[in-house]
Amino acid sequence: MKNRWSETEAAEYRQRHAPRWGERLALRTYSSRLIGAEKELVLHGGGNTSVKASARTLLGEEIEAIYIKASGWNLKTIEPEGHTGLELAALRPLIGLTTLDEAAMINALRVRRLDSEAPTPSIEALLHIFLPHDFIDHTHADAILALSNQPDGEQHLRAALGDRVAILPYVHPGFALAKAVAERQAAAPECVGMVLRHHGLVTWGQSARQSYDATIELVTRAEEYILRHSRAPKSLRRVTALAAARERYLEAAPLVRGQLAIPTGEADHPFQRFILLPVITRETLNLVDSEQGAERAITPPLTTDHLIRTKPLPLWIDNIDAIPAAIAGYQAAYRERFQRLADTTHPPIPFDPSPRVIFMPGMGAICVGRTGAEVDVTRDILLQTLTVKNRIAAMGASYQGLNDPDLFAMEYFPPQIKKLKNVREAPLARQVALVTGAAGAIGSGICRELLAHGCHVAAADLPGEGLNSLAEELNRLHPGQLLPVSMDVTSAEAVSAGFAAVVERWGGVDLVIPNAGLAHVAGLEELTLATFQKLQRVNVDGTLLVLAEAARLFRRQGTGGDVVMISTKNVFAPGARFGAYSATKAAAHQLARIASLELAELGVRVNMVAPDGVFADGGRPSGLWAEVGPDRMKARGLDADGLQEYYRNRNLLKARITAQHVGKAVLFFATRQTPTTGATLPVDGGLPDATPR
């Protein structure tokens, strides 16, 4: 592993942070970021770093303090305030206690914060407090775990790292681990670091560079040892091509997602869904297609820090036909395990029983989570895990994880549970929506509203600058939540491919908003058949193709869903010279009503939103008004501002209708505020002639 310390960069951190935070914390921030930047050392906020320094009270008294990484901060991007300051002298005597439960430990740490508003320090804080060294690094280095997680792990660690590194058998994190580490270090004060079996590496020093150098040196020794003791891997016959694996995933994903969904018993929200992410790589295919695939894949995580992302074990599914039985079996086994291992006196609330990683021969792996961001983290952990397990296999050894009681104790460790509870789940966080005509004024407004409520949104439209700029804008505001999809709704192949792209990214679709539409101004005498058919292909054929594809997918998923079609007030109150638009939208509206009748048995609700005169509101210009506006202004002798005023004044509420209003109407149906299907919600400020009847 390369040592990336730079005196020039260190000086920049001193200059930037030392005046406010002091030199020690400035350099602690720098070395923490160096560690966080190496995915072979820590992943997604894992690992801990600390520094002991002095602090001054309000009365000017200088006291001993320790600054330790706060829970929730990521070492890769940490700032000085990411290390919570604690009164060291008040906490160090806790080592004299025989036991200290988690609640009392967290309380002791919180009441000794130098700033009452600072975040809660890491659950490993006492480990850093009890050690005498000024700078301490705790990482989950791949190479260390590759040596540690073997039956002969201690023997390999001693041979690789030498006598100046202590080795500690696994101890449950918290007070017991902190005390065990301190006692082991006191018995071997010459040690420069310590390996915590199945947990990671702890190094220390009297400066930020010293502790960082020790981390890099020991990890490098472990990497070199693994290389010396590894054999060239056997050439594996490539059973499955990547393209074939992808096709298999597209077939399996809706079934998997439907089977994973947890019934809630609520009529309006009957299922708790999950987001899926495939991991179809040469490495995963070689694993699942090998004779030892299941044996190597269905093993515990590298470290207990991964449990909240991966669960204790993955699930293996032999083939697509076995999906329902395999998932049901996993869920039943998880529930039984909870009953067997939970403290019957004060049992925790059980987590959902669905797996977080699934392996399937000929397909690869699937990561499962509550949100897209969550499955992205699980994917990174899975890839790291496979890399480490492959290193162990290359050494001719078997993988050895923790036993089930230790895994359970950490999975339901209160501080870990709190990490999950502290993540606020948005109303639509577990849902996936597909919006057609997304690059226009109404479509983009709908996308924004759904994204703001946590939904994963596939923005579908014709390829080009409109879709590209929308994706760039919304991905910047909601990273990871938006997927641009090139789709011509008049093509059955393009619609099918568009849905497939969404399934590949998130596993399925729960909410479909047919919005793509064309308008044209012409009296019946001058309206050509070709023009009418052009509108019909988009407004009618496009709606039919999207509804049909959605119905097929909803049936495979088996967890219901919603369709919200963007209709128009012209269905109920058509306008002169607007016959092609009014007639074709009326046909699309009728198709949606038919869908509400046919899809109800699947638990799918179909509703319509009928806006009038949607003008741009700081967002994207309306394509409809670009087409209609000039004719309407000419007919009424108005300019653009006057036309907007005309439409505002003609409704009862004198309201200016915007794309955001349409988005909120979609949101009403998407969040299932009422048990409603087959309904039309006007968004027009009140137009008596257009009232649905």
Tens-digit pLDDT profile for residues 551-608:
999 999 999 999 999 999 999 999 899 999 999 999 999 999 999 999 999 999 999 9
My answer on whether 202 and 248 are in the same domain is: no
My answer on whether 554 and 578 are in the same domain is: yes
My answer on whether 295 and 223 are in the same domain is: no
DSSP string, 355-373: -SEEEETTTEEEEEESSHH
My answer on whether 21 and 118 are in the same domain is: yes
- Residue 630 falls in which region: left (phi positive, over 0), alpha (psi -120 to 50) or beta: alpha
User: Of the candidates 397, 421, 445, which is a domain's last residue?
Assistant: 421
Domain span at residue 17? Answer: 7-228
My answer on whether 275 and 391 are in the same domain is: yes
CA distance 568 to 581: 10
For position 623, what pLDDT does the model report? 64
User: Of the candidates 400, 421, 442, which is a domain's last residue?
Assistant: 421
Whether the predicted pLDDT of 239 surpasses 80: no
HSE, side-chain direction, 13 A CA sphere, residue 326: 18
| 692 occurs within a structural domain | no
The helix (H) or strand (E) run that includes residue 609 is strand 604-611
Residues with Cβ within 8 Å of residue 12, at least 6 apart in sequence: none
My answer on whether 612 and 486 are in the same domain is: yes
- The mean-pLDDT minimum among 399-413, 598-612, 639-653 falls in 639-653
| 427 occurs within a structural domain | no
- Residue 654 falls in which region: left (phi positive, over 0), alpha (psi -120 to 50) or beta: left
| 693 occurs within a structural domain | no
pLDDT in tens, 297-346: 999 999 988 998 999 999 999 999 999 999 999 999 999 999 999 987 78
Whether the predicted pLDDT of 621 surpasses 80: no
User: Of the candidates 370, 391, 421, which is a domain's last residue?
Assistant: 421
Tokens of 343: 């403290």
| 113 occurs within a structural domain | yes
Whether the predicted pLDDT of 36 surpasses 60: yes
My answer on whether 414 and 487 are in the same domain is: no
My answer on whether 216 and 252 are in the same domain is: no
For position 692, what pLDDT does the model report? 77
Nearest to 201 by CA among 342, 308, 380, 48: 48
CB atoms within 10 A of CB 274: 25
My answer on whether 365 and 463 are in the same domain is: no
My answer on whether 163 and 40 are in the same domain is: yes
| 392 occurs within a structural domain | yes
Tokens of 403: 């036993």
DSSP string, 41-105: T--TT--EEEEEEEEE-TTS-EEEEEEEEBTT--TTT--GGGEEEEEHHHHGGGGG-S---HHHH
Tokens of 171: 């101890």
Order of strands across the sheet that contains 165-168 = 83-87, 62-69, 48-56, 135-139, 200-205, 193-196, 165-168
Query: Total structural domains in the chain?
Result: 3
> Residue 297 sits in a domain of what CATH number?
3.40.225
